Structure 1
Amino acid sequence: MTTDAAIRQYVSELSTFGYCIVRDALPASTIAALEADLRERFDLTPFGEGGFYGEATKRFGRLLARSRHTEALVRHPVVIAIVETILARWCDCIQLNTTQAIAVHPGAPAQLPHRDQDMWAAAKGEMEYLVNVMWPIDRFTRENGATQVWPHSHGLAALSDDTPEPPVSIEMAPGSALLFLGSTLHAAGFNRSQHVRRGIVIGYALGWLKPYENQWLAYPPHLARSFSPELAALVGYRQHRPNLGNYEGQCPSILLDPGHDNDAPLAAMDALREDQQALVTALIQTREEAR
Structure 2
Amino acid sequence: MSAAVDRHVAGLARDGWCQFERAVEPELIAGIEADLEARFAATPLCQGAFYGERTRRFGSLLSRAVGIERLVMHPLIIEIAEQMLLPWCERIALNLTQAIEIQPGALPQLPHRDQDMWQGPKGRVEYLVNVMWPLTRFTRLNGGTRLWTGSHLDPDIPVLPEDDAIVPAIVPGDALVFLGSTLHGGGANASFAPRRGIVISYCLGWLKPFELQWLVYPPHVARHFSPELASLVGYAQHRPNLGNVEGQCPSVLLREHVPDHLQAIDALRPDQTEAANLFIRTQMGEMG
TM-score interval, normalised by the smaller of the two chains: over 0.9
* Pair 1:278-2:274 in alignment: yes
Root-mean-square deviation (CA, aligned residues, Å) is 1.2
Q: Which residue pairs with 1:204 in the alignment? A: 202
User: What secondary structure is seen at the aligned counterpart in 2 of 1:241?
Assistant: coil
The one-letter amino acid of 1:146's match is G
The one-letter amino acid of 1:45's match is T
Q: Which residue pairs with 1:234 in the alignment? A: 232
User: What secondary structure is seen at the aligned counterpart in 1 of 2:100?
Assistant: strand
User: What secondary structure is seen at the aligned counterpart in 1 of 2:200?
Assistant: strand
Distance in 2, matches of 1:126 and 1:24, equals: 32
Distance in 2, matches of 1:204 and 1:31, equals: 20
Cα distance, 1:275 vs structure 2: 2.5
Distance in 2, matches of 1:65 and 1:247, equals: 24
Within 5 Å, give how 1:114-125 maps onto structure 2. 114-125=112-123
| Aligned match for 2:88, one of 62, 86, 90 | 90
Aligned residues: 286
Cα deviation 1:238-266 (Å, max 9, x = unaligned): 000111110111000011111223xx111
| Aligned match for 1:41, one of 30, 39, 43 | 39
User: What secondary structure is seen at the aligned counterpart in 1 of 2:187?
Assistant: coil
Cα distance, 1:274 vs structure 2: 2.3
Cα distance, 1:161 vs structure 2: 3.9
Q: Which runs of 4+ in 1 moved over 3 A?
A: 161-165
Give TM-score scaled by structure 1 length: 0.96
Within 5 Å, give how 1:255-266 maps onto structure 2. 255-261=253-259, 264-266=260-262
Is 270-279 or 67-76 further displaced after alignment? 270-279
| Aligned match for 2:3, one of 2, 5, 8 | 5
Structure 2: tracts of 5 or more residues without a match:
none
Cα deviation 1:26-68 (Å, max 9, x = unaligned): 0000001101110000000000000000000000000001111
| Aligned match for 1:171, one of 143, 161, 169 | 169
The one-letter amino acid of 2:282's match is T
Distance in 1, matches of 2:262 and 2:138, equals: 51
Distance in 2, matches of 1:244 and 1:70, equals: 27
Distance in 1, matches of 2:134 and 2:74, equals: 15
Distance in 2, matches of 1:14 and 1:274, equals: 31
| Aligned match for 1:190, one of 167, 177, 188 | 188
User: What secondary structure is seen at the aligned counterpart in 2 of 1:88?
Assistant: helix
Give TM-score scaled by structure 2 length: 0.97
| Aligned match for 1:62, one of 60, 63, 80 | 60
Q: Percent identity?
A: 54
The one-letter amino acid of 1:289's match is G
Distance in 2, matches of 1:129 and 1:63, equals: 22
Distance in 2, matches of 1:175 and 1:281, equals: 51
| Aligned match for 1:159, one of 134, 156, 160 | 156
Cα distance, 1:285 vs structure 2: 2.1
Q: Which residue pairs with 1:247 in the alignment? A: 245
* Pair 1:27-2:20 in alignment: no
Residues 50 and 14 of structure 1, relative CA distance in 2, 3 Å threshold: same
Distance in 1, matches of 2:275 and 2:248, equals: 21
Cα distance, 1:162 vs structure 2: 6.0
User: What secondary structure is seen at the aligned counterpart in 2 of 1:287?
Assistant: helix
Is 248-257 or 276-285 further displaced after alignment? 276-285
The one-letter amino acid of 2:268's match is L
Q: Which residue pairs with 2:76 in the alignment? A: 78
Distance in 2, matches of 1:88 and 1:214, equals: 21
The one-letter amino acid of 1:75's match is M
Distance in 1, matches of 2:158 and 2:202, equals: 26
Cα distance, 1:142 vs structure 2: 1.2
Q: Which residue pairs with 2:131 in the alignment? A: 133
Distance in 2, matches of 1:48 and 1:276, equals: 47
Cα distance, 1:163 vs structure 2: 3.8
